[in-house]
Structure 1
Amino acid sequence: MHTVFLQRLNSTWRAAFWMAGALVSFSTMAVGGRELAAELSTFQILFFRSLIGLPLVLLVVLRYGGTAQLRTQRLPLHLVRNVAHFGGQFGWFYGLGFISLAEVFAIEFTVPLWTALLAVVLLGEHLTRVRLLAVILGIIGTLIILRPGVSIVHPAAMAVLLAAFGYATAHTLTKKLVGTESPLAILFYVTLIQLPLGLIPAMGSWTIPSPASWPWVIAVGVSALTAHYCMARALRLADATVVVPLDFLRLPLIALIGAFVYGEEVTWSLALGSLFILAGIMVNLQAEQYRG
């Protein structure tokens, strides 16, 4: 019993280490997106993200198992998933250029709640009372942050909210893919399919990144991959009930970065709305853990 406890404790600390890497990666990607928004269009940022990510994924594929694991019979589903994911990324990076970093992250945290709702429609899962409560809490939190009717809702905030729906759709479709596709295959098709999705619209107003911007371009491309890799490693080592609360640290961390680097203020509506959203996630997470 003592040995089992130590093994779990060790796994939890290792998961926390990987989550620290995820937190740094997500924060780096957000700051990089904010810095690049002044010079590049959102489509260009997404193009360079895929351009840098594709060879990195291929190197990992060649190192672990070879290209045989990239074969798929479900290319149409990959296409639909990546169109939704690309839309999510577009809204997320677009929002970074206009609203506070903390507000972007807070609205993004509604993704698990919309995923629970979309799973009912796309996967035929049951809408339990707990899931419904979680979604309601998320909606209340989002309304508190956006404050429609009290102040003018910034279009960028709506773009991030739509991005959350895009991410939720992609996550839900991922559940259909994981039964036959390897994680590396899914990541490979993310970069491969989204490369032209970013390039084609970006060509209309192409701007060559300045020398000062290239470190941020590389940082966005690399951190986008390391964030999800670190998250996956953490989830392999510890339960979601351990990993997800650690992921919540993204919000205060990015709020501090926004305050110190960009002079952003954390409003009462952002703080209160975030609490409602995080409460909804925890309610749903605890219920799923209990069912499991």
Structure 2
Amino acid sequence: MAGGMFLFSAVDTQAKFLTETLHPLQIVWVRQLGLLLGVIVLLAVRGLPVLKTKNPVLQISRGVLAASSATLFIVAVRYVPLADAVAVSFVAPFIVTLFGALILREPVGIRRWSAVTIGFIGTLIVIRPGMGVIHPAVLLVIVAATLFAFRQILSRVLSGADRTSTTVAYTAIAGSTVLTVPLPFVWTWPQTNLEIALLCGIAVLAALAEFLVIKALEVAQAVVVAPVQYTLLLWSTMYGYLVFHHLPDFWTWVGALVIVATGLYTLHRERVTARAVRKAIAAQDGKNE
């Protein structure tokens, strides 16, 4: 998971650099291309049964959400410092909690609701609306985080019905398809060797990062490895300084720390809840025996 976060930060840095000369849709399409090529290899090895699903509409919808979320984020980082955009994107877990309660009817206690509220306050500290500190494009990050949260909700619904490989395959195919439709209208051929190298790097590193994250979720529980996602803030700060000479200001750090702290607490509560559910199931099984 840590390796995946490091590589995703590298991908976002290259994407931000390329937005100066290339359209964001083109960049996201290339990013998706790496995952699509991996899925093509998967289909060649395992065959078409990988695409067998009980929920084709939900699978396609998840792929569209993934492509839309990535596109909006890349559009935003053209104007917003990378570390600031990543900090705001961490609002996604709180939106997942909100949607989980409203859509999936998941139980959420007062402590998690409090964490969600404080997390949103942390986001406001980073954005500081009305003060003109951060470019208005940061609102696109919030929309991207919301779409990502919907994607996570669909992942929860699909996890009990389809295999991970099936979900990844549909995400790659659906996402690439929806991005290919407008591509001819925005495509610009790379003019320099640097642009070509960065585009290739984005495709390869994004695919590798996806593989590492999926592998992490296969060998460990999500609530265990999820906190490692917050290392994105460290890597994006490092890349932002080294490549773009951007450093978050004091209040951005304060807001980011609030978001990370409440996010970690939310994950902790999910872990406690999951443990309690497992104990209850084990106790019920014991009674049945």
TM bucket (normalised to shorter chain) is: 0.7 to 0.9
* Partner of residue 194, structure 1: 175
* Partner of residue 276, structure 1: 258
Checking the alignment, whether the CA contact within 8 Å between 2:241 and 2:247 is kept in structure 1 is yes
Deviations 1:260-279 (A, max 9, x none): 22110221121011111111
Counterparts in 2 of 1:1-292, with a 5 A limit? 19-63=1-45, 65-151=46-132, 153-210=134-191, 211-292=193-274
**Post-superposition, which runs of at least 4 consecutive aligned residues in structure 1 deviate over 3 A?**
235-242
> Gapped runs of 5+ residues in structure 1?
1-18
Partners of 1:75 and 1:239 in 2: CA distance: 26
**Compared CA separation, residues 75 and 236, structure 1 to 2 (3 A):** closer
Q: Could you tell me how far 1:168 is from its partner in structure 2?
A: 0.4
Q: Could you tell me how far 1:141 is from its partner in structure 2?
A: 0.8
Q: Could you tell me how far 1:114 is from its partner in structure 2?
A: 0.7
Structure 1 residue matching 2:137: 3-state secondary structure: helix
Checking the alignment, whether the CA contact within 8 Å between 2:25 and 2:186 is kept in structure 1 is no
* Partner of residue 10, structure 1: none
Checking the alignment, whether the CA contact within 8 Å between 2:4 and 2:213 is kept in structure 1 is yes
Structure 1 residue matching 2:108: 3-state secondary structure: coil
Partners of 1:150 and 1:204 in 2: CA distance: 36
> Counterpart amino acid of 1:101?
L
> Counterpart amino acid of 1:231?
V
Partners of 1:75 and 1:287 in 2: CA distance: 32
Partners of 1:241 and 1:204 in 2: CA distance: 42
**Compared CA separation, residues 73 and 135, structure 1 to 2 (3 A):** same
> Counterpart amino acid of 2:184?
M
- Of 162-171 and 212-221, more deviation after overlay is shown by 212-221
Deviations 1:10-58 (A, max 9, x none): xxxxxxxxx3321321122111211221121111112222333212222
Structure 2 residue matching 1:212: 3-state secondary structure: helix
Percent of aligned pairs with the same residue? 27
TM-score scaled to structure 2, two decimals? 0.88
Checking the alignment, whether the CA contact within 8 Å between 1:117 and 1:131 is kept in structure 2 is no
Structure 1 residue matching 2:35: 3-state secondary structure: helix
Deviations 1:165-205 (A, max 9, x none): 01000010111112222212111111211223212223223
Q: Could you tell me how far 1:247 is from its partner in structure 2?
A: 2.3
* Partner of residue 8, structure 1: none
- Of 32-41 and 45-54, more deviation after overlay is shown by 45-54
> Counterpart amino acid of 1:109?
F
Partners of 2:239 and 2:18 in 1: CA distance: 17
Q: Could you tell me how far 1:242 is from its partner in structure 2?
A: 4.2
Structure 2 residue matching 1:83: 3-state secondary structure: helix
Q: Could you tell me how far 1:206 is from its partner in structure 2?
A: 2.2
Structure 2 residue matching 1:213: 3-state secondary structure: helix
Partners of 1:108 and 1:287 in 2: CA distance: 21
Checking the alignment, whether the CA contact within 8 Å between 1:47 and 1:197 is kept in structure 2 is no
Q: Could you tell me how far 1:148 is from its partner in structure 2?
A: 0.9
Q: Could you tell me how far 1:152 is from its partner in structure 2?
A: 5.5
* Partner of residue 14, structure 1: none
Q: Could you tell me how far 1:233 is from its partner in structure 2?
A: 2.2
Partners of 1:60 and 1:25 in 2: CA distance: 22
Checking the alignment, whether the CA contact within 8 Å between 2:127 and 2:138 is kept in structure 1 is yes
> Counterpart amino acid of 1:189?
Y
